[in-house]
Structure 1
Amino acid sequence: MNDDEISVVYLTMQDLISNRINENIDLYNYNITGANGFTHKIVDYNATTKTATIRMMATGGQDLNNKEINLSISSFLTGSNKFGKFDANVNLAEVSSDVNTIHLNMLQIPGGGGDNFDNLKEKRIVDILKPDETNIKLPNISFAYISNIGFIDDKLHVQVKWTKKETEKANIDDHGTFLLISDKKTIYPTNIEFGIDEDGNSKYGNGYSEYIFDVNKQMVSCYSLVAENFATNSNYIEGNWQVSFSVKAVNSSKKVDCDINIDGIKIKSVCLSPLGITLFIEGKKADDTDIEVTVPSIKNRNQNFSKFFDSNHNNQHIIKCVPIEPFDIENIDVIYVNGFPVNLFNELILSSVEVIGLLFKLTLEILTGKVI
């Protein structure tokens, strides 16, 4: 199913001959034709039938309306061990600016991300920390450690070595990131993936990650270095699974204007569809602000929403919050945004049959002078 922002697909995967699928299954290489911005989450696992139910989501939902698409999966991971946020136990006030560096060719790396990544690519050659100058262990993490940390050009660099990514039995998707967190602000890094040859020079590979924060030595003591989303896996399984089907649009939605201000974030309208709640925002982007949407319980079931994306579209910020499964919006007359009520009772976008019914009722009222 799709609405104006996203497409949602639910699929089940069942192992008929072995025990290769469990509650930690994580799709690795997969594709939905015509869609982009994929993400997925396991929403149910039946241990008796060895069946996992997975929700897949993609942006650009309106472009897939009534189209025949193909979903393909060529590999997945199981045996994942995931870690939430935890303090990296690094005293940032003691981090030095006197560090050894090496050159990295940005055209010879597998990838990276973050707000400053494109600027680094334009430079082509950048300085990074010399690998393995330190060995700072991360709490409860055995598959990675901080291999160097320091300031380069007034920016904090934190380098991680992934100990099993370039071994004979490589852990394909070991990953994680860092944040700088203070009482008032969270700073996200730009990250670079790279490898190191036997002589200590950079090469193509993913055995190391370098996280670069736009914060200098004078500012950094106000922050804590926090690790987030670290995960490792034990099984990498390849195959060729695919299915084709047609994507159907949602048949109704509720949209209403509003005026909610949350720490400078101005929510001007809200749209509710069976696939989730969309917030249309003016002003600053909502990256660092917690925004929680809720609806009254439906048949004694609470709906929990998570943020799928926060993007800029036609000079307007859009936040899409999604539930675990599609839900019936017909009897939902109000939603809450950080506790602020938004009334939707008169904003249902009606079907053509309902519109004809209302026009017929209005005509009778006019002809008879009676209210029906």
Structure 2
Amino acid sequence: MTVEDLYHGISEIQPKYLEEADTYKARKPARWKKWAAAACICVCFGSAVPVLAAGDNKIAYELLYMISPSAAQKLKPVRISCEDNGIKMEVAAANIEGHKATILVSMQDVKGNRLDETADLFDSYSIHTPYDQRGGCFFAGYDEETATATFMLEIEQMNEVLIPGDKITFSVGEILVGKKHSDLKLETIDLVELPVINNFKANPDISGYGGMDLDSLEEDKIRLMEPDEESAVVLEKGVALTGYGILDNELHVQVRYADILETDNHGRIYLKNENGEAVYDQYSVSFRDEDGRDNYQEYIFPIPADGLDSYEMWGEFWTCSNGPIKGNWQVTFPLTD
């Protein structure tokens, strides 16, 4: 979901929007993804709708105005929808400017009350245009009265500009709700008495990298801890500390995120210096367990053991104990002048 915050393969809502908001609450970082142009079988089509036509979608616009008044003012109605599993998905509005497209999408539970303010599209969404592009999805808000969650999509074409007649297809397969966000001091880790790491994971199934300085990562020299499950400490439901210590004069901290394919459990480990300022890892490396269900993430900080006594260790986590709401939501809308 720009290289979003390469930090964990995820990033917060863009600063230009946060600066416009009077207040905002912490939101789950949104992953940015890249797609190649591909043909899609569309389950729901709309007739040619002028993106700049007049119209109204009051709830969606009010939610977006809370995040970005300037973005809301530029969006114009599209109003194309489809429904599956009792949930209606509507492309409410869009704006196209050169290589960039902004789209407002709402998900409404028309048969129950399954959605809430934690609704997340769980990386199950896809964006298709005639050209290669990358895009991200950001939670915009939730309206309890109508059981409607609204999301803002941003698409950036890699080489070509969208023109009238081009079509955008947006699809979603899962919606995750009941998520919990926590940010807590990790009292378990004693930064004064740190063990030396000498037990390493053999042939880890590496699933990804992240961090503030990926250029410093030498993949052929990576050594990761063997998870210590017997001494694992539960930090949050679905999150456990499975190891920490000093390796090559750097601090390593390893966390297990359980059942990620059903819960999207994830997070980050960071330090706070004596001024209360956050200090993030230089890079992190992830690997899966044998079943591919749990994900281990090891965070590396280039701070020697004798320089850590003035720091605190913190963890920020996004967890969920519910399984996703599954469906097949897909709409295609063409662009006109």
2:146 aligned partner = 49
Amino acid at match of 1:223: Y
Q: Secondary structure at the match of 1:238?
A: strand
2:173 aligned partner = 74
* Bigger mean CA offset, 50-59 vs 113-122: 113-122
1:112 aligned partner = 209
Report deviation, 1:95.
Answer: 1.5
**Kindly tell me: are residues 213 and 58 of structure 1, through their superposed partners in 2, closer, same or farther at Cα, counting changes over 3 Å?**
farther
Question: Are positions 1:207 and 2:295 aligned together?
Answer: yes
Alignment equivalent of 1:24, drawn from 118, 122, 140: 118
Q: Secondary structure at the match of 1:21?
A: coil
Tell me: higher relative CO, structure 1 or 2? Use CA pairs within 8 A at least 6 residues apart.
2
The answer (yes or no) to whether the contact 1:26–1:77 under 8 Å persists in 2 is: yes
Report deviation, 1:189.
Answer: 4.2
Question: Are positions 1:187 and 2:280 aligned together?
Answer: yes
* Bigger mean CA offset, 27-36 vs 224-233: 224-233
Report deviation, 1:128.
Answer: 1.0
The answer (yes or no) to whether the contact 1:12–1:54 under 8 Å persists in 2 is: yes
Report deviation, 1:10.
Answer: 0.7
RMSD of the TM alignment (CA)? Answer: 3.0
In the alignment, the residues of structure 1 paired with residue 216 and residue 140 of structure 2 have an alpha-carbon distance, to the nearest angstrom, of: 36
2:227 aligned partner = 131
Report deviation, 1:143.
Answer: 1.9
Alignment equivalent of 2:331, drawn from 226, 243, 255: 243
Report deviation, 1:62.
Answer: 9.0
2:44 aligned partner = none
Report deviation, 1:163.
Answer: 4.0
Kindly tell me the number of residue pairs found equivalent between the two proteins. Answer: 233
Report deviation, 1:175.
Answer: 0.8
1:87 aligned partner = 185
Amino acid at match of 1:128: L
**Kindly tell me: are residues 171 and 95 of structure 1, through their superposed partners in 2, closer, same or farther at Cα, counting changes over 3 Å?**
farther
**Kindly tell me: are residues 50 and 71 of structure 1, through their superposed partners in 2, closer, same or farther at Cα, counting changes over 3 Å?**
same
The answer (yes or no) to whether the contact 1:73–1:239 under 8 Å persists in 2 is: yes
TM-score, normalised via structure 1 length: 0.55
The answer (yes or no) to whether the contact 1:173–1:233 under 8 Å persists in 2 is: no
Report deviation, 1:30.
Answer: 0.6
Moved over 6 A (4+): none
Report deviation, 1:88.
Answer: 1.6
1:312 aligned partner = none
**Kindly tell me: are residues 11 and 174 of structure 1, through their superposed partners in 2, closer, same or farther at Cα, counting changes over 3 Å?**
same
**Kindly tell me: are residues 248 and 130 of structure 1, through their superposed partners in 2, closer, same or farther at Cα, counting changes over 3 Å?**
farther
In the alignment, the residues of structure 1 paired with residue 212 and residue 203 of structure 2 have an alpha-carbon distance, to the nearest angstrom, of: 19
1:10 aligned partner = 104
**Kindly tell me: are residues 12 and 71 of structure 1, through their superposed partners in 2, closer, same or farther at Cα, counting changes over 3 Å?**
same
Report deviation, 1:24.
Answer: 1.7
The answer (yes or no) to whether the contact 1:177–1:230 under 8 Å persists in 2 is: no
Report deviation, 1:158.
Answer: 0.6
Report deviation, 1:5.
Answer: 7.2
Matches within 5 A, 1:295-314: none
Superposed CA deviations along residues 118-155 of structure 1, whole A, max 9, x for unmatched, are 765741x63211212633343xx222121110111222
**Kindly tell me: are residues 163 and 43 of structure 1, through their superposed partners in 2, closer, same or farther at Cα, counting changes over 3 Å?**
closer
Q: Secondary structure at the match of 1:110?
A: strand
Q: Secondary structure at the match of 2:242?
A: strand
Question: Are positions 1:97 and 2:196 aligned together?
Answer: yes
1:176 aligned partner = 267
Superposed CA deviations along residues 298-328 of structure 1, whole A, max 9, x for unmatched, are xxxxxxxxxxxxxxxxxxxxxxxxxxxxxxx
Report deviation, 1:115.
Answer: 4.3
In the alignment, the residues of structure 2 paired with residue 42 and residue 195 of structure 1 have an alpha-carbon distance, to the nearest angstrom, of: 31
The answer (yes or no) to whether the contact 2:103–2:154 under 8 Å persists in 1 is: yes
**Kindly tell me: are residues 112 and 247 of structure 1, through their superposed partners in 2, closer, same or farther at Cα, counting changes over 3 Å?**
farther
Matches within 5 A, 1:284-295: none
Superposed CA deviations along residues 74-127 of structure 1, whole A, max 9, x for unmatched, are 2221111122x322223312222244222344xx3222322455765741x632
2:27 aligned partner = none
**Kindly tell me: are residues 190 and 206 of structure 1, through their superposed partners in 2, closer, same or farther at Cα, counting changes over 3 Å?**
farther
Report deviation, 1:15.
Answer: 2.2
The answer (yes or no) to whether the contact 2:286–2:295 under 8 Å persists in 1 is: yes
The answer (yes or no) to whether the contact 1:27–1:75 under 8 Å persists in 2 is: yes
In the alignment, the residues of structure 1 paired with residue 279 and residue 239 of structure 2 have an alpha-carbon distance, to the nearest angstrom, of: 23
Report deviation, 1:177.
Answer: 0.6
The answer (yes or no) to whether the contact 2:270–2:278 under 8 Å persists in 1 is: no
In the alignment, the residues of structure 2 paired with residue 215 and residue 2 of structure 1 have an alpha-carbon distance, to the nearest angstrom, of: 46
The answer (yes or no) to whether the contact 2:134–2:158 under 8 Å persists in 1 is: no
In the alignment, the residues of structure 2 paired with residue 143 and residue 55 of structure 1 have an alpha-carbon distance, to the nearest angstrom, of: 28
Higher strand share: 1
Amino acid at match of 2:240: Y
In the alignment, the residues of structure 1 paired with residue 329 and residue 228 of structure 2 have an alpha-carbon distance, to the nearest angstrom, of: 41
In the alignment, the residues of structure 1 paired with residue 115 and residue 320 of structure 2 have an alpha-carbon distance, to the nearest angstrom, of: 16
In the alignment, the residues of structure 1 paired with residue 238 and residue 307 of structure 2 have an alpha-carbon distance, to the nearest angstrom, of: 30
